[in-house]
């Protein structure tokens, strides 16, 4: 069983390759060969021919639909209007750009991107620690001294355990949920609410842009016998016509939230916070330790629980091999 990462990278290659195969007879198209391309190609080639065919059939189904709703993919101004296909580097992801496959027409000053997901809906895996200012990094507004003072004893305790024995396991900490997770989550919750109150209209919007991505994109989710396409058209750059050629379906613009409604614990959980925002956005933050050994940081598994009704979603069912 290949890892989630290898599966995801293989699907990125399948999408890029199927874009190329589908478009090369319609327009001038080229692939930018970079380190990221070499990585995804080797991941794809690590699968059997039957598995590769499944990736390709799924990618091809999604691409046929994307060509219908993005006329600029198949239409260039002249032969010199080259469509460049590129696999994004990991550095782009760190700056809030979640796109994996990018399609660029420099002559038209136009580009779109695709985020490839393989049976996977998480949006981010962000860390908390004494050194990480999540307010500054995620939202553009720094966290308060009070927040850092509140979390310091917990992360100092973890640092001391680690320094005493670098092989210490999380399971050795008594009542770990009560002594580690809950106080950190409570401090995070309070700080998020405070930042929103002190920066009205900024925090909610920036939070969604940090998590979902600061560039418009299509998310292509590969399922067992179907592919799902979601259009995150936050800034209105998707679904543009090419001269007189109009898209075959309309993609509405998504509204970003302007305020935080509530931050509550999910059900009976003491590890997961639900953040509700206006415009129909809801996000879950599940805190966990990233490895079995104690370290002075914690990780969030962040998922979109609900999105605005205006999020364009299309399901294509596939007969795979």
Query: If the chain, 321 residues long, is cut into consecutive pieces of 10 residues, what is the mean pLDDT of each piece?
Result: 83 98 97 96 97 95 97 96 94 73 97 86 82 96 98 97 94 92 97 96 93 90 92 95 96 94 94 96 93 93 90 89 57
> Can you give the pLDDT at residue 128?
96
Residue 121 contacts residue 304 (beta carbons within 8 Å): yes
> Can you give the pLDDT at residue 92?
64
Beta-carbon contacts of 128 under 8 Å, excluding residues fewer than 6 positions away, are 134, 151, 184, 188, 287, 297, 298, 299, 300
> Can you give the pLDDT at residue 93?
57
pTM: 0.85
Tokens matching residue 86:
């590129």
Residue 183 CB-density burial (10 A; 0-12 exposed, 13-18 middle, 19+ buried):
middle
Rounded Cα gap, residues 122 and 213, in angstroms: 13
Rounded Cα gap, residues 38 and 199, in angstroms: 43
**Beta-sheet strands, E only, within 198-267:** 217-222, 226-232, 260-265
> Can you give the pLDDT at residue 1?
46
Rounded Cα gap, residues 281 and 308, in angstroms: 6
């Amino acid at each position: 069983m290949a890892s989630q990462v290898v599966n995801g990278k293989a699907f990125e290659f399948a999408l890029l390759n199927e874009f190329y195969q589908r478009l090369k007879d319609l327009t001038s198209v080229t692939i930018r060969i970079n380190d990221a391309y070499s990585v995804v190609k080797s991941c794809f080639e690590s699968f059997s021919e039957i598995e590769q065919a499944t990736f390709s059939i799924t990618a091809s189904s999604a691409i046929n639909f994307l060509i219908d709703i993005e006329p600029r993919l198949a239409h260039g101004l002249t032969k010199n209007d080259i469509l460049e296909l590129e696999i994004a580097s990991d550095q782009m992801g760190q700056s809030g750009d979640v796109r994996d496959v990018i399609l660029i027409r420099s002559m038209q000053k136009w580009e779109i991107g695709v985020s490839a997901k393989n049976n996977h809906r998480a949006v981010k895996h962000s860390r908390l620690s004494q050194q990480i200012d999540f307010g500054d990094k995620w939202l553009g507004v720094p966290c308060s001294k009070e927040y850092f003072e509140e979390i310091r004893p917990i992360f100092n305790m973890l640092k001391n355990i680690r320094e005493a024995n670098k092989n210490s396991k999380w399971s050795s900490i008594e009542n770990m949920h009560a002594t580690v997770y809950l106080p950190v989550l409570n401090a995070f919750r309070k700080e998020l609410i405070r930042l929103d109150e002190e920066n009205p209209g900024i925090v909610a919007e920036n939070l969604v842009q940090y998590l979902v991505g600061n560039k418009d994109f299509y998310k292509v989710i590969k399922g067992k016998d179907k592919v799902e396409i979601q259009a995150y058209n936050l800034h209105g750059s998707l679904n543009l016509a090419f001269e007189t050629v109009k898209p075959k379906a309309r993609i509405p613009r998504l509204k970003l939230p302007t305020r935080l409604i509530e931050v509550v614990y999910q059900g009976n959980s003491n590890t997961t916070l639900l953040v509700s925002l206006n415009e129909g956005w809801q996000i879950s933050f599940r805190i966990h330790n990233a490895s079995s050994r104690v370290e002075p940081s914690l990780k969030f598994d962040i998922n979109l629980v609900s999105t605005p009704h205006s999020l364009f979603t299309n399901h294509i069912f596939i007969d795979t091999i």
